[in-house]
Structure 1
Amino acid sequence: MPRDDATTALSERSSGARRFPVIDWARTTLGPRAGWPTALETVARLMLHSRQPMFLAWGPDLAFLYNDAYAPILGARHPGALGQPFRQVWPEIWEELVPLVQRALDGQSTWAENLHLVMHRNGYPEDTWYTFSYSPLHDDEGRVAGMFCTCMETTRQVLAERALRENEGRFRALLDAAPAMMWVTDRDGHCTHLNRSWFEFTGQAATDAKHHDWMAPLHPDDRPEVETAFARAITDHAPFRLDYRMRHADGGWRWVIDAAEPRRDAAGRFLGHVGSVMDITDRREAEERQAMLAREVDHRAKNMLAVVQAALRLTRAPDQASYARAVEGRVAALARAQTLLANDRWAGADLRAMLEGELAAFLGSLPGSARCTLEGPPVALPAEAAQPLNMLVHELATNAAQHGALSTPGGRVQVGWQVNAGRLRLRWTETGGPEIPAPPTRRGFGTRVLEGTVRGQLGGRLLLDWRRQGLDCTLDLPLAARTTVSEAI
């Protein structure tokens, strides 16, 4: 095919090529088109028909030829750059390109990735970035006569990545400022960031938290469940929420709640998870205490009901009025025990306060008027022992008021106690009452309460000495009382 300026195939598809016929190539270092070397013609044709941005520079002054895809890179310099020397096309960046150009002219291919160049292509300086390669071009005699470039402007990509990094930096700074533990993973579940609170809580070193090692602080019994749930969340690109135990920096185990949501880009593609971990040990312990208290209240309610039912069933009296008084007294004793426990939030009851409540009528408000004396150190009864012991004292007081020392004006009751090695030893001594000719032969409700409460319910020992001058009762029981439904009935 003839290669004259008017009929060249270079004008077939490219707007850049269509300008070739009006250019006086003879006035450039390229010379008339008819005399172009085959290598130059061939590369020019290949370049003009490509959609990849390309240019070639040929001859002593590296005359510049380019295709349509390269034209946007030139900006306002297109189309006047055709046939101009390379250094005149890009004077502001020429010095930066010289080393790469020289290597190409020395016969070596070069490569640059995201190279920063400040261009004035539109009349003002612009920060631009390019990825490109320079390759040497040989003339028909095999000598290097120019260079060929394929390139791509990566300015948008570089700026987007920079913005992403800045956003990621701000995001991580925000995570580090968060009081909760925060973590971020990639789409494969590998941990890419743990915030400052995580390391402060776990005491884990940053080098130990790579990939799945970030799960090292999890309790061994909980880790399989967490790993299974986390793997499912990754597969399903789904949220994640689970309670588990984690080792604290102090070496103890703490309960935490871990909640995460999938991360997605602007196109909705899954990027991984971002999660937060919060210490819920106090909340969980409070819930457990509440549940335990509910069980305790239920147990005590059933126990009280059992005692009331027994009082109704076993109380003996000569008439209805006496029966009612006896039952009401025992129920009132139960109520007083409940009040003592409630005042101390069911943690227990004070022994002296319990005794004063049952013996208030005989303690006396004036000097010398007391018919009962109380002597002993402060003792906090466990909640499990307060109610049955209160019933026991009530039965002793009732028996003393009806038949014993407190049934006569000159009778006295002395109550003394001491604590030794975790056991309470309480002695109830009656004097000055009616003589007791012999121990009672019938086991009434009171006797059942005394024996069943001390031995069966509280796991202690009871000694009843029915002396002629009055009852002498000694109780010996552990302060860590057993929790059982009353066996006194």
Structure 2
Amino acid sequence: MVAYSAAKDEHPPFSGTGEMGNLIRRFDWSKTPLGPISDWPQSLRTVTGMLLLSPVPIVVLWGADGIMIYNDAYSVFAGERHPQLLGSKVREGWEEVADFNDNVMKICMAGGVLSYENQKHTLIRHGMPEPVWMNLDYSPVLDESGDPAGVIAVVVETTKSVLGQRRLRESEGRFRALTNAMSDVVYSMSADWKEMRQLDGRGFLANTETPRIAWQEIYLFPEDREYIQSVIDEAIRTKSVFQLEHRVRRADGTVGWTSSRAVPIFDERGRIVEWFGAASDITQRRQNEEHLKLVVHELNHRVKNNLAMIQAIAMQTFRKNTDLKDAQVRFSARMVALGQANDLLTGERWAGASLRGAVEQAIRPHCPEKGRCVIEGDDVTLSAKTALALTLAMHEMATNALKYGAWSNSAGRVSVSWSAYLKDGAKRLRIEWREEGGPRVQPPDQRGFGSALIERGLAREVGGEAKMEFLPNGFVCTIDASDSIYASH
């Protein structure tokens, strides 16, 4: 039990107020090595008065035994040990850390000082051992002779701060693990977006380890910055989420696309202090979308061309042909050829078609037997327009060969060959259709659809000319094409 003096001190030796000031004045110090307050040296009175006025937890450990005198703030730290700690020996009052306090007393009573930051101790609290962290500063208190007579200790418990920082680090660690598991770019921006504080580019964008002011020059293209900035300004003005798909300069310097989303972080007053965001690499998706747009545009164009071609075929087939049944057969055959040409192009996604494939598809079905159709030449890829026109032209010539030319008897044959050559430094392609061994050829009295398709339509599509010769020993068609016939990649 704590003993208190029954007598009142009419002249208090120090002016400390509060609970501890009253307790210290009333305490029976005569039962301690310090003796009555009236016998205390001035140095002890002074340091006691000082600690009572301090809002910081302070305890004085006086004499070799470290008799404890402390203030109100320290009594809160002492918890259930208060008020029994007052006037007790420090090694006994804090028995579980007696060795630590013994070292403190030895060093400071020898004139040394000690300082600890977030020093961990295990103290008995609520009857159970409990880890506690403290900032501790120990200094000697000199008596009138200038020798250390005690130790003054400033004790600030930092347990909440240490545990809070630990939880924050753990949370940051979990968050970092989460972001590392993501494939998205992660970034943070200042409140006004003028400074990029950090960016983890995931190999898609260049990393930013230190804050950058000129981030727009690094990641954005000049022609895109004004619009992107306008979206940023609106998000800042409305304190809302920033969200935009836009172009970026990738880590390798090439053009990429990203879907970026950033949320504002607010302080307790509702002011934006930072933005945190994530950005996905959508480059492939955008490229696919652009390709799809081109395909749709090309498809629309091709459909219109096919419709126009069907109309022209119909007009040429039915206009002068009085035999309706024959006209229907011809029209049907030409539609089949057009459909096969489209099938060939569809297989190549309308990016172009093989010259050999176009020729074979057009004429093989008409060839009477193997050996009477010869196709020669190094394969090349034609543009879609050229392949379509060439297939139809080859179909017309194959049909005529079967009806009137080299394939109308049992001995004639057709050879199709092509070769590239240079003219005035420009690359050109010569395609030749040659018939041999068929009936004697007579030039037709009038030109039909096939002749018009070859001489005018095909010549226009190949950017050159198509020449038809009705020689006595066989029909010959020579097509001279510019390099515009080749598919572009």
TM-score (norm 1): 0.75
The Cα of 1:160 is off from its aligned counterpart by 1.8
Q: Distance in 1 between matches of 2:11 and 2:125?
A: 30
**Does the CA contact (< 8 Å) of 2:406 and 2:474 recur in 1?**
no
CA-to-aligned-CA distance 1:38-69 (integer Å, 9 cap, x gap): 77556645644665433334566553222332
Task: Report the equivalent of 1:294.
Answer: 296
Q: Is the 8 A contact 2:432 2:479 kept in 1?
A: yes
| Structure 1 stretches lacking a partner, 5+ long | 484-489
**Cα 1:192/1:450, change in 2 over 3 Å:** closer
* 1:324-360 deviation line (CA, Å, top 9, x unaligned): 4444343332212112222344343344444444445
Deviation by residue 1:11-54 (Cα, 9 ceiling, x = unmatched)? 99634344446532223344323455677556645644665433
1:172 aligns with 2:173: no
Q: In the alignment, which of 424, 433, 436 is matched to residue 428 of structure 1?
A: 433
- Equivalent position to 1:128, from 128, 132, 157: 132
Residue of structure 2 equivalent to 1:209 = 209
Match of 2:332 among 324, 328, 332: 328
In structure 2, the CA distance between the partners of 1:132 and 1:12, relative to structure 1 (3 Å rule), is closer
Of residues 447, 452, 457, the one that matches 2:451 is 447
Q: Deviations over 1:171-210 (max 9, x none)?
A: 334444x26254353766554573xx82x566x6x7x732
2:481 is the alignment partner of 1:477: yes
Letter in 2 for 1:319: T
Q: Contact between 2:356 and 2:380, CA under 8 Å: does it hold in 1?
A: yes
Deviation at 1:276, TM superposition (A): 4.4
Matches for 1:63-74 after TM superposition, within 5 Å: 63-74=67-78
| 2:135 aligned counterpart, secondary structure | strand
Q: Matched residues in 2 for 1:479 and 1:223: separation?
A: 37
* Partner in structure 2 of residue 247 of structure 1: 250
Instruction: Go from structure 1 to structure 2 and tell me whether the alpha carbon gap of 1:294 and 1:475 turns closer, same or farther (over 3 Å shift).
Output: same
Distance 1:117 1:353 in 2: 86
| Pairs within 5 Å for 1:302-317 | 302-315=304-317, 316-317=319-320
Q: 1:319 aligns with which of 317, 322, 326?
A: 322
Q: What amino acid is the match of 1:284?
A: R
Instruction: Trace 1:3-22 onto structure 2 (pairs within 5 A).
Output: 5=8, 14-20=18-24
Give how far 1:473 is off: 1.1
Matched, 1:391 2:365: no
Aligned residue runs from structure 1 range 98-247, under 5 A: 98=105, 101-102=108-109, 112-120=116-124, 125-134=129-138, 146=150, 148-176=152-180, 178=181, 180-185=183-188, 190-192=196-198, 194=200, 198=202, 209-212=209-212, 218=219, 220-221=221-222, 224=225, 228=229, 236=239, 238-247=241-250
Q: Is the CA contact (8 Å cut-off) linking 1:465 and 1:473 kept in structure 2?
A: yes
Alpha-carbon distance, 1:81 to partner? 1.3
Match of 1:419 in 2: 419
Q: State the Cα distance separating 1:363 from its structure 2 match.
A: 1.1
**CA, structure 1 residues 238+279, in 2 after alignment: closer, same or farther (shift >3 Å)?**
closer
1:313 CA displacement: 3.9
1:208-253 deviations in whole A, cap 9, x for unaligned? 732238958636558846984678768847455544344346x755
Counterpart secondary structure, 1:298? helix
2-side partners of 1:47 and 1:13: how far apart?
A: 11
Q: Is the alpha carbon distance of 1:472 and 1:187 closer, same or farther for their aligned partners in structure 2, counting shifts above 3 Å?
A: closer
Q: Given the superposition, is the C-alpha separation of residues 295 and 212 from structure 1 closer, same or farther in structure 2, using an over 3 Å criterion?
A: same
Name 1:382's counterpart in structure 2. Answer: 383
Pair 393,170 (structure 1): closer, same or farther in 2 beyond 3 Å: same
- Residues 473/22 of structure 1: CA separation in 2 closer, same or farther (3 Å cut): same
| Structure 1 pair 264–166 and aligned structure 2 pair: CA distance change class (3 A) | farther
Q: State the number of aligned residues.
A: 464
Shift of 1:450: 1.5
Change (3 A) 1:304 1:413: farther
1:59/1:99 Cα in 2 relative to 1: closer, same or farther (>3 Å)? Answer: closer
SS of alignment partner, residue 212 of structure 1: coil
Task: State the identity %.
Answer: 30
Moved more, 333-342 or 222-231: 222-231
Conserved in 2, the CA contact under 8 Å of 1:458 and 1:482?
A: no
> Partners of 2:211 and 2:464 in 1: how far apart?
59
Distance 1:247 1:55, change over 3 A: same
Output one character per residue of 1:451-477: Cα deviation in whole Å (capped at 9) or x when no partner: 333332221322222334443210122
Contact 1:11/1:20 (8 A) holds in 2: no
- CA distance in 2 between counterparts of 1:318 and 1:122 reads 113
Instruction: Report the CA distance between 1:143 and its aligned residue.
Output: 8.1
Provide the rounded CA distance (Å) in 2 between the counterparts of 1:387 and 1:302: 13
1:448: Cα distance to partner? 3.0
Contact 1:375 1:417 in 2 (8 A): yes
Which whole-Å CA distance do the structure 2 matches of 1:470 and 1:305 have between them? 34
Q: What amino acid sits opposite 1:387 in the alignment?
A: L
Pair 209,167 (structure 1): closer, same or farther in 2 beyond 3 Å: same
- Letter of the 1:288 counterpart: E
Q: Structure 2 vs 1, CA of residues 357 and 128 (structure 1 numbering), >3 Å: closer, same or farther?
A: closer
- List gaps (5 residues or longer) in structure 2: 1-5, 422-426
SS in 2 for 1:391: helix
**Superposition deviation, residue 254 in structure 1:** 4.7
